[in-house]
A = this chain, B = another copy of it.
């Protein structure tokens, strides 16, 4: 009986792998090292397949039991075809057709999506999204990524740029250049990189003393150091935290009138800052946001941590194969 889902969350250092049943109960989870030597991706996909196959056997299953495969990748993906359009962190300079590579080993449906979308789907199915139909996730890391689920489906858009929350202009003074080529993007003021940008911008202008002065002078400021100092009462770091929170709150106020999600989930390393960031976000969000759109909307921390990726990769099969009866 075909009731097994194979899942992979491919990262630049490790690949997290999972085996699930068709109700998304996880039967096994483990990691392998990511081999980034082969630019074609072929040997990495083979490594992943071999690891799945060995574990399937250990669990008493056959390849024939596999219903489908879901994969998350750190790069732009054509969701329709499963082709990855290059991935810097994997050393894939060109397109990699993952379903085609896997078809040499196994004959089953393969769904591939980018890691931010997959994490959002994982949180929807098994984490802070509590299965809600409409969910948005903002991933606050070095960059700022996202995933948006409306009517139970990921919003990819016509060329896969749905939920690219990091790349609309919120800093109208355009103080910081963004990696995307524009300036003033949300990512430049609301990611870990953005925190450092704001510290370097404001420090020379303000008269606050700060406990992180030595880090600023040595160019060693991190988002974590700022939030930690804010928690200790450092006025400058509280000021920076409020600026960052206001930008994130603005983004959520926009998301609320676009797709009106039940849950807006904050994930990524920066969300570990906890209340000092999230309570500031909530206060500004309530102040800013169209009242009917904020009504009943909850801003919550992600719950799955590093597991969001494989949970969501498995979730691709649940959402697009099992729950989609031929539609």
Chain B nearest CB from A298 CB (Å) reads 10
Q: Can you report 11 residue pairs joining A to B where beta carbons are below 8 Å apart?
A: A76-B292, A134-B162, A150-B150, A150-B259, A151-B155, A157-B259, A161-B290, A161-B292, A162-B257, A169-B250, A172-B172
Annotate A257-300 by CB proximity to B: 1 below 8 A, 0 otherwise: 11111100000000000000000000000001111110111000
Which label, helix, strand, loop or mixed, suits the secondary structure of the A interface?
A: loop
Instruction: Say whether B258 contacts A158, CB under 8 Å.
Output: no
Q: Please, which residue of chain B has its CB at the minimum distance from the CB of A162?
A: B260
A125 adjacent to chain B (CB < 8 Å): no
Top-6 shortest CB links A-B: A157-B260, A161-B293, A167-B290, A158-B262, A161-B260, A164-B257
Closest to A258 in B: B258
**CB of A64, distance to nearest CB on chain B (Å):** 27
A61 to chain B minimum Cβ distance, whole angstroms, is 29
Give every chain B residue within 8 A of A262 (Cβ-Cβ). 158
Known A150-B150, A325-B326: A260·B165 in contact at CB below 8 Å: no
- A260 and B169 contacting across the interface, CB-CB below 8 Å: no
How many chain-A residues does the 8 Å CB contact rule pick out?
52
Contact A260 B150 (CB under 8 A): no
Q: A88 near B: Cβ within 8 Å?
A: no
Known: A150-B155, A151-B153, A161-B256. 19 other contacts (CB 8 A): A134-B155, A148-B259, A150-B150, A155-B259, A155-B260, A157-B256, A157-B261, A159-B292, A159-B297, A161-B257, A161-B293, A163-B257, A164-B293, A167-B290, A168-B254, A169-B288, A172-B172, A182-B291, A258-B259
Indicate with 1 or 0, residue by residue over A164-198, a CB within 8 angstroms of chain B CB atoms: 11011100100000001110010000000000000
Determine the chain B residues whose CB is within 8 A of the CB of A291 once the complex forms. Answer: 180-182
Known contacts A164-B293, A253-B169; is A150 also within 8 Å of B159 by CB? no
Q: Say whether A229 faces chain B, with CB atoms less than 8 Å apart.
A: no
A206 interfacial by beta-carbon distance below 8 Å: no
Contacts of A324 in B (CB 8 A): 327
Q: How far is the CB of A88 from chain B (nearest CB, A)?
A: 15
Cross-chain contact B168 with A290 (CB below 8 angstroms)? yes
A253 to B184, CA, bound (A): 13
